[in-house]
Amino acid sequence: MAEIAIRNAGKTYGKTRIMQDVSLVINNGEFVVILGPSGCGKSTLLRMIAGLEDITDGEIAIGGQVVNRLEPRERGCAMVFQNYALYPHMTVAENIGYALKVAGMPKADRLAKVAATAQSVGLTEFLDRKPGQLSGGQRQRVAMARAIIREPKVFLFDEPLSNLDAKLRVQMRHEIRRIHNQISATSVFVTHDQHEGMTLADRLVVMNKGTIEQIGTPEEVYDRPASVYVAGFIGSPAMNFLPGRVTDSRSAVVLDDGQTIPLVSAIKPAAGQMVQIGLRPEKLTLAPLGGGALAARFEFAEELGSGRLYHLKIEDVPVSVMAAEKHSFVEGQTIGLRFPNDAVHVFDGASGLRLDLHHAPAAALVSA
């Protein structure tokens, strides 16, 4: 078993607290992506699992064994780094088989295992080359093969694709997921790239300022973001946010320009409460004015080939709309916006927390 159980983990550097009360269970064989911007604590958490960083508070268990005081080599983890960390003077074969050589495996057995591992990641024809003779994608494959050959219980990936170009990143995402499925190890992948997180993860762990904001499948996190932070971080283009105030009847939200959003939800906010209405750009539809459409002012459009990203404003609040249709609008033109009832997200204006974590608030925009 390679379940990873993190309980109330904390990390302090001197007097600076950078992580607190992080609790997470990663199931045996699961692929979990820890996602967040630079400085949120995600790489520190990964290094604490690996034993490369000491844990200040709490405990980490791997396979049921608390590993707080175990050396990295005793934890059964293999780590793939952003910078590959290959030995430049060794061949690909020597890099892949180095851990087995140190462990004293007979040469014939070691070479056979190196050959089999290299074949699994498409490196057979490069075994005699040095890392300097390889492309970035090939060097990352060598780093992965070096981890695979140890047959670890846990794979740890620390932003391994950041140095690759966009096309190679897509290819390597597929390769990493294929290898994970093939060897059935538990994988923990750290990244700031939401596309990597959404495409790779069985579950996402979204971090912010040393704490976990939300844990869930990519679909759950996208469809039911737990906070304004998560809603704005997950999704490209980012979610639109419209500030407003709940009416005295608690049945609608009044936007700054006086337009209203009726609220239909199992959980009602308090009368007068300030809220943020969240709307994803791909859920909005450009429409004629009237008939319940929300009025917005056109600014400009970005050509995307398969469609356009339209930039508008409601009062001084920017709103973006992703649409396949290509329209020719004039700057300053007033345009109607529509969207389905289940496309509305409602967050508390002060805390940023979602007001209904179980059912998406349903609403339809109408003119004031």
Among 46, 366, 365, 355, which Cα is nearest to 231's?
Answer: 355
- Cα angle value 304/309/314 (rounded, 5°): 170
Q: What is the 3-state secondary structure (H, E, C) of the chain?
A: CCCEEEEEEEEEECCEEEEEEEEEEECCCCEEEEECCCCCCHHHHHHHHHCCCCCCEEEEEECCEECCCCCHHHCCEEEECCCCCCCCCCCHHHHHHHHHHHCCCCHHHHHHHHHHHHHHCCCHHHCCCCHHHCCHHHHHHHHHHHHHCCCCCEEEEECCCCCCCHHHHHHHHHHHHHHHHHHCCEEEEEECCHHHHHHHCCEEEEEECCEEEEEECHHHHHHCCCEHHHHHHCCCCCCEEEEEEECCCCCEEEECCCCEEECECCCCCCCCCEEEEEECHHHCEEECCCCCCEEEEEEEEEECCCCEEEEEEECCEEEEEEECCCCCCCCCCEEEEECCHHHCEEEECCCCEECCCCCCCECCCECC
Backbone angles phi, psi at 286, to 5 degrees: -75, 135
Radius of gyration of the chain (CA): 25
Query: pTM for the complete prediction?
Result: 0.88
Spatial separation of the C-alpha atoms in residues 194 and 34, rounded to whole Å: 10
For residue 19, with 0-12 CB atoms within 10 Å meaning exposed, 13-18 middle and 19 or more buried, which class applies? buried
Region of residue 182 (left: phi > 0; alpha: psi -120 to 50; beta: else): alpha
* Residue 92: Cβ within 10 Å count: 27
Q: Which two tokens stand for residue 254?
A: 């009044």
pLDDT of residue 1: 56
Q: What is the dihedral of CA 136, 138, 144, 148, to 10 degrees?
A: -170
The type of residue at 362 is: A
Residue ranges of the chain with per-residue pLDDT less than 50: 358-368
pLDDT for residue 266 = 62
Helix 92-102 and helix 107-120: axis angle, to 10°?
Answer: 130
47: left (phi over 0), alpha (psi -120 to 50) or beta: alpha
Residue 306: the pLDDT is 87
pLDDT at 120: 85
Interatomic CA distance for residues 188 and 158, integer angstroms: 9
* Predicted local confidence at residue 244, as pLDDT: 95
What pLDDT digit, counting tens, does each position of 193-247 carry? 999 999 999 999 999 999 999 999 999 999 999 999 999 999 999 999 999 999 8
Which residues lie across from 16 on neighbouring strands? 13
Quick one: pLDDT at residue 249? 85
Which residue, chain included where needed, has tokens 């490369």? 52
Structure tokens at 272: 């007068």
Strand-strand pairing, 285-287 and 274-279: unpaired
- Residue 20, φ and ψ in degrees, nearest 5: -150, 140
Q: List beta partners, residue 247.
A: none
pLDDT at 122: 86
Q: What is the pLDDT of residue 268?
A: 76
